[in-house]
Amino acid sequence: MQRHPVIHGLINNAAAFSSERRTTADGHELQLGVNHLAHFLFTLSLEPALAAAKDARVVVMGMPSSTPLKLDDLMLRQKYDGMTAYGMSKAANLAFTRELAERWKGRIAVNAVYPGMTKTSLI
């Protein structure tokens, strides 16, 4: 933020998929950590620079997800399934986008888009 005190646009696009349970360095389930928690923390930490722009936009690359968040086992320690983990991370993205859009209404535009699936070698 010292180098860029005003930010006009932020696109949250990082995503990972793993068919086996893996964790981040912080001990979070990998897909939730990369696909949601990283976006959550990064976006919130940039709020002052986004607000300074007066016309900033945050875009969350998401996808439709009907997977419910398992709040009693968010890290899927009890039973892991890669597609469930991915769906939960994307459901969390959508919930975060909706909540942030409401909280920042009139100050910073927040939207989610679904460009379709892309296979990469990220993970």
**Catalytic amino acids?**
86
DSSP symbol at 49: H
In order of 14, 32, 50, 123, the CA distances from 120 in angstroms are: 11, 18, 29, 8
Q: Which of 26, 24, 60 is nearest to 42 (CA)?
A: 60
DSSP symbol at 93: H
